[in-house]
Amino acid sequence: MEKLFIIDASGYLYSSYFAIRNMTNSKGESTNALFGFIRSVLKLLKDFQPSHIVAVFDGPNNAQAREILYPQYKAHRSATPPDLPYQIAWAQEFCSLMGIPFLNVPQVEADDTMGTVAVWAAKRHCISYLCTTDKDLCQLVNDQILMLNTRKDNQISGPAEVEQIYGVLPSQMIDLLAMIGDSSDNVPGLPGIGPKTAASLLKEFGSLDNLLAHPEKISEKKRAIIVDNADKALLSRRLVTIDLSVSVPHGDDFYRLKPPQFSLLQSFYSKMNFNSLLKELDAFNPAPQASQTGEKQISEYTLIDDENDLKELISFLQTQKEICFDTETTEIQPIKADLVGIGFGVKPEKAWYVPVNGKIGLKTVLEAVKPLFENPSIGFFGHNVKYDYHILKNYGITVANICFDTILASYLLNSHNRQHSLDFLALQFFGKVKIDISELIGKGKKIISMRNVPIDKVATYCCEDVDYTCRLKEILEKEIKERGLDKLMQEIELPLLKILAGMERHGIFLDIPYLERMSVDIQRQIKAVEQDIYRHAGEEFNINSPKQLSHILQHKLLIPLPKKTATGFSTSADILESLKDVHIIAHDLLDYRSLEKLRSTYVENLPQEVYSKTQRIHCTFNQSVAATGRLSCQDPNLQNIPIRTEEGRKIREAFKPQWPEWSFLAGDYSQIELRLLAHLSEDPNLIQAFQNNEDIHSYTAALIFNIPISQVSREQRYQAKAVNFGIIYGQQAFGLAKELKIDVKEAAVFIDTYFKRYRRVKEYIEYCKTQARTFGKAVTFTGRERLIPEINSKNGQLRLFAERLAVNTPIQGAAADLIKLAMIAIEKRLTQETLKGYMILQIHDELIFELPDEETNIFTTLVRETMENVFQLKIPLIVDITLGKNWKEC
Whether 259 and 350 map to the same domain: the answer is no
**What is the CATH classification number for the domain harbouring 197?**
1.10.150.20
Q: Please state, in angstroms and rounded to a whole number, the distance separating the CA atoms of residues 701 and 753.
A: 10
Q: Considering the domain boundaries, does residue 351 fall inside one?
A: yes
What is the domain extent for residue 320?
300-483
Q: Are residues 329 and 429 in the same domain?
A: yes
Give start and end residues of each alpha helix (H) in 606-758.
Answer: 646-652, 672-681, 684-691, 696-705, 714-728, 733-740, 744-757
pTM of the model: 0.86
Same domain, 118 and 200: no
228, 247, 266: which is the final residue of a domain? 247
Residue 715 lies in a domain: yes
Query: Is 850 contained in some domain?
Result: no
- The reply to whether 222 and 335 lie within a common domain is no
Q: Are residues 332 and 400 in the same domain?
A: yes
Domain count, the chain: 5
pLDDT, averaged per 10 consecutive residues of the chain (890 residues), comes to 95 93 89 96 94 95 78 80 94 97 93 95 94 93 94 90 92 90 83 87 88 81 81 87 93 94 92 90 59 55 96 97 98 96 97 97 97 98 98 98 98 93 92 91 92 96 98 98 96 98 97 96 95 94 91 88 75 86 90 93 95 96 94 93 85 95 97 95 94 92 92 91 86 86 89 92 95 95 93 90 93 96 97 94 96 97 97 94 95
Residue 255, classified by CB atoms within 10 Å of its CB into exposed (0-12), middle (13-18) or buried (19+), is buried
698 falls within a domain: yes
Are residues 10 and 156 part of one domain? yes
| Domain finish residue from 755, 789, 806 | 806
Asked whether residue 123 falls in the same domain as residue 237, the answer is no
Let me know if residue 651 belongs to a domain: no
Whole-number Å distance between alpha carbons of 674 and 815: 10
Same domain, 396 and 526: no
Whole-angstrom Cα distance, residue 465 to residue 460?
9
- Cβ–Cβ < 8 Å for 318, 458: no
CATH number, domain of 379, equals 3.30.420.10
Q: Is residue 854, in this structure, part of any structural domain at all?
A: no
- Check whether residue 162 and residue 193 sit in a common domain: no
The answer for residues whose C-beta is within 8 angstroms of residue 426's C-beta and 6 or more apart is: 432, 433, 434, 468, 471, 472
Phi-psi region of 124 (alpha: psi -120 to 50; beta: other; left: phi over 0): alpha
For residue 621, give the H/E element and its range: strand 620-622
599 with 710, same domain: the answer is no
Inside any domain, residue 499: no
Same domain, 355 and 475: yes
Q: What is the enclosing helix (H) or strand (E) of 425?
A: helix 422-430
| Same domain as 329, residue 263 | no
